[in-house]
Amino acid sequence: MTRKPSQRPASPPRSRDTRLSTLHLAPESLGFALDCAAQAVGAVRQGAALPAALHSIFMSFPEGVATSSRGAVQDIAYRTMRRLGTAEWLAAKLVRKAPPSHVAHVLACAFALLIDEASNAAYAPFTVVDQAVNAIGARREYAFAKGLTNAVLRTFLRERDGLLGDAQKDAVAHWNYPVWWIDAVRKAWPDAWQDMLAAGNSQGPLTLRVNARRSTVDAYLQTLREHQISATQAGQHAVRLDTPMPVDRIPGFNEGVVSVQDAGAQLAAQLLGVQDGMRVLDACAAPGGKTGHLLELADIDLIALESDATRARRIGENLQRLGLSAHVRIGDAGSPEQWHDAADPPFDRILADVPCSASGIVRRHPDIRWLRRASDIPALVEEQRRILEALWPRVKPGGELLYVTCSIFPEEGELQAQWFGNRHADAVRLDAPGQMLPEAFGAPARGAEGGAASEARHDAAAKAEVTATVFPVPDRTADHDGFFYARFQKR
Ligand SMILES: C[S@@+](CC[C@H](N)C(=O)[O-])C[C@H]1O[C@@H](n2cnc3c(N)ncnc32)[C@H](O)[C@@H]1O
């Protein structure tokens, strides 16, 4: 695994610090994991998504990286995303002159492991310090910073409580989100913002969707019991495992009996109420989670549209595992002429699971908060409107469009639904959960301001009345991500 000079990747990934020298660390060592995780953190800081950054780093080893080593790298990189505000605050506090970025990122990863006492069981503090020093020493151009790394991390261990206490006074260090994000959540949800930010720093549960064509929740729970896996029902088709595990160890996963899908995301297909024979458009479909669910519920004629050809491939892969099929098309949902003939019949149902900030799913994608900018939100709002406007004429009279985002920002949720309702006199807003805030940490069930009264015409007067959801979410005890759902029927 140790890369020889001649084995350098021909074209290092964009995210990788191209100045890094050849790495000589045992791949099973914590030092190796810290080095790779630090590269991933550096890539995120330069704008790359964490999964893509990790993939690039693993691919840069021609001889491959063992699964266990990958697991350690991923674990450290994800932990660091959830603690990056504190880790960077500590580095700024303890290092007088800013170190080279790779050294700063190794320090950030080491701090992330040291801060979190729960992680001490997996990573003994003094081992973390020694291995961080090894990681720095393994890069000859940074070897000069070994002493600094050792001193800074040992100072942290000595003065841990005082330093962490001081860090609490800084909003970014305390919450581990950028300032604009903290402000936006506080403004939108003045009673819940702290729970919500804290929830985003937890790890989401592993929730499965039972394929209604193949099994039932009760039967699948029995199968799990036979495998000594404890789990509970978390929705109409949802089962939450008490302890996450790799998918290939989940009974029936490879055979398509179950899929991994958050309990909140599972409401989409249910809300669409598909029935045999319907023509359905899944307008922003990749990787096909909701596509698969729709096909499990009824025999429908489904177009799965996706603008990103690479991501679209995953729809086919997911459907293949489930033994189901759809017409997968590559195209822009905002330009129907690309994928829908004017002469083609309109759709009974359209699912508009539009691109959004993904601010509701940060616990599973903790890098998102560091990648988004405040200016992304208005741009996303515009894009969502463009897509909605293009799709509405394709809904047949009496048909329905479901607008979905995995966002907690009202601009992408209720405000967007109101904007749409105001523009279209032929749009009747039906029951839907509206804003579902993430529910980890036993937060109270909150439909939030946003659900529509049944069959109520969504005009300005009706909107003023709408304060709470009336849609019965199947299982309020479910631990789910943040979503927004609005359902419109065409007159
Ligand atoms: C929220 S994700 C969809 C998740 C998917 N529905 C699922 O459940 O697995 C949004 C998707 O929309 C795609 N997308 C973005 N802009 C689009 C557009 N203009 N037309 C079609 N798809 C688009 C993105 O590439 C992304 O795959």
Q: For residue range 131-189, list pLDDT tens digits in order.
A: 999 999 999 999 999 999 999 999 999 999 999 999 999 999 999 999 999 999 999 99
Residue whose CA lies nearest to ligand 1 atom number 6: 285
Contact by Cβ (8 Å): 300, 280: yes
Rounded to an integer, what distance in angstroms lies between the CA atom of residue 8 and that of residue 1?
12
Answer yes or no: is the C-beta of 311 below 6 A from any ligand 1 atom: yes
Which two three-digit tokens encode residue 389? 């406007």
> For position 122, what pLDDT does the model report?
83
Rounded to an integer, what distance in angstroms lies between the CA atom of residue 231 and that of residue 221?
7
The answer, yes or no, to whether residue 470 has pLDDT greater than 90, is no
CA 354 to ligand 1: nearest atom: 10
Rounded to an integer, what distance in angstroms lies between the CA atom of residue 365 and that of residue 74?
12
Q: What average pLDDT score do residues 247-253 get?
A: 97
CA of 260 to the centre of ligand 1 (A): 18
- What would the pLDDT profile of 53-75 be if each residue is shown by its tens digit? 999 999 999 888 999 999 999 99
Burial class of 271 by CB neighbour count within 10 A (0 to 12, 13 to 18, 19+): buried
Q: Which of 246, 160, 207, 199 is nearest to 82 (CA)?
A: 199
CA of 307 to the centre of ligand 1 (A): 7
Answer yes or no: is the C-beta of 286 below 6 A from any ligand 1 atom: yes
> For position 182, what pLDDT does the model report?
98
Q: Which of 330, 424, 421, 86 is nearest to 434 (CA)?
A: 421
- What would the pLDDT profile of 251-301 be if each residue is shown by its tens digit? 999 999 999 999 999 999 999 999 999 999 999 999 999 999 999 999 999
Rounded to an integer, what distance in angstroms lies between the CA atom of residue 339 and that of residue 330?
8
Q: Which of 281, 296, 303, 307 best tests ligand 1's pocket when mutated (most atoms within 8 Å of CB)? A: 307
Helix spans in 168-209 (H): 171-175, 179-188, 193-200
- What would the pLDDT profile of 438-464 be if each residue is shown by its tens digit? 876 344 444 444 333 333 323 332 332
Rounded to an integer, what distance in angstroms lies between the CA atom of residue 401 and that of residue 394?
10
Which two three-digit tokens encode residue 196? 């919500």
> For position 472, what pLDDT does the model report?
41
DSSP assignments along 374-388, one per residue: TTHHHHHHHHHHHHH
CA 312 to ligand 1: nearest atom: 27
Positions annotated as catalytic residues are 406
> For position 145, what pLDDT does the model report?
97
Cis peptide before 287 (omega within 30 of 0): yes
Answer yes or no: is the C-beta of 285 below 6 A from any ligand 1 atom: yes
CA of 291 to the centre of ligand 1 (A): 11
- What would the pLDDT profile of 111-124 be if each residue is shown by its tens digit? 999 998 777 778 89
Q: Provide the whole-model pTM.
A: 0.89
Q: Which of 306, 368, 384, 405 best tests ligand 1's pocket when mutated (most atoms within 8 Å of CB)? A: 306
> For position 20, what pLDDT does the model report?
60
Q: How confident is the model at residue 22 (pLDDT cuts 50, 70, 90)?
A: low
CB atoms inside a 10 Å sphere around CB 461: 9
CA of 150 to the centre of ligand 1 (A): 45
Rounded to an integer, what distance in angstroms lies between the CA atom of residue 271 and that of residue 293?
11
CA of 332 to the centre of ligand 1 (A): 10
Answer yes or no: is the C-beta of 305 below 6 A from any ligand 1 atom: yes
Q: What average pLDDT score do residues 342-354 get?
A: 96
> For position 95, what pLDDT does the model report?
96
